[in-house]
Amino acid sequence: MALYGKLEVVDDVAAAFHDLVVVREPASIALSGGDTARVCYERLVAAPVGWERVEFFMSDERWVPVSDPASNEGMARIALLDHIHPAAIHSMYRSDETIEDAAADYDALVRAHPPIELLHLGLGPDGHTASLFPGTAALDVRDRYVVPNGDDLHPYPRLTFTYPAISRSPLVVFTVAGVDKRDALAAVATGKDVPAARVRANEVLWLVDHEAASPGIG
């Protein structure tokens, strides 16, 4: 298997993510978007964690107001953040800035902060992660942690962590669930050059369910 990191096939991805957060007690977490992430965050609401010590970041965002249903921060607030009292929530979207200036500001914020202790990523059916889409410019950025990015296949302009930003975290956790992710996960596991396959960090953990895991992948 060519997959970088450790893969665990689990019955319930959200429960496995919950247990990992409880055990590791990260002081900072970068959140992703999507339905898999939303279920994970809803499950965290009741977790026995000292949220008052935890800072939250976004690992990518759609360039829409937080009140927009497409907002990753908006999703995370509804699912989790509005139910707990974290030390900080660092928004990517800024209504008073251009996307370029917001990217530069978030880059400076991340650069000035100690490495984010747990970075959560999803996997798109095309093998994207965060807003690192196949064939886009952000895949090749080495001197920035946060850049604007996007393509014609995915809605909204985006802000996204780059690979250098991702690899700065000591722990990167992918959560992958459902049969519609089977091909993307198999692509990663067989060494295809999809964006998620390029992720490197000190520890990369893949939490995948039985539907997403091809026979023999685990």
Query: What gap in Å lies between CA 38 and CA 55, rounded to an integer?
Result: 18
Contact criterion met (CB below 8 Å) for 145 and 164: yes
# binding residues, ligand 6PG (CB under 6 A): 15
Residue among 35 and 97 whose Cβ is closer to ligand 6PG: 35
Interstrand relation of 28-31 and 60-62 (parallel, antiparallel or unpaired):
unpaired
- Put the strands of the sheet holding 146-149 in their side by side order: 60-62, 158-161, 146-149
Q: How far is the CB of 183 from ligand 6PG (least distance, A)?
A: 13
Residues 126-155 that bind ligand 6PG (CB under 6 A): 128-131
124 binds ligand 6PG (CB under 6 A): yes
Secondary structure letter of residue 129 according to DSSP: B
72 binds ligand 6PG (CB under 6 A): yes
Residue among 201 and 216 whose Cβ is closer to ligand 6PG: 201
CA angle (88, 101, 104) in 5-degree steps: 65
Residue among 119 and 217 whose Cβ is closer to ligand 6PG: 119
Q: Which residues bind ligand 6PG (CB under 6 A)?
A: 32-37, 60, 72, 122-124, 128-131
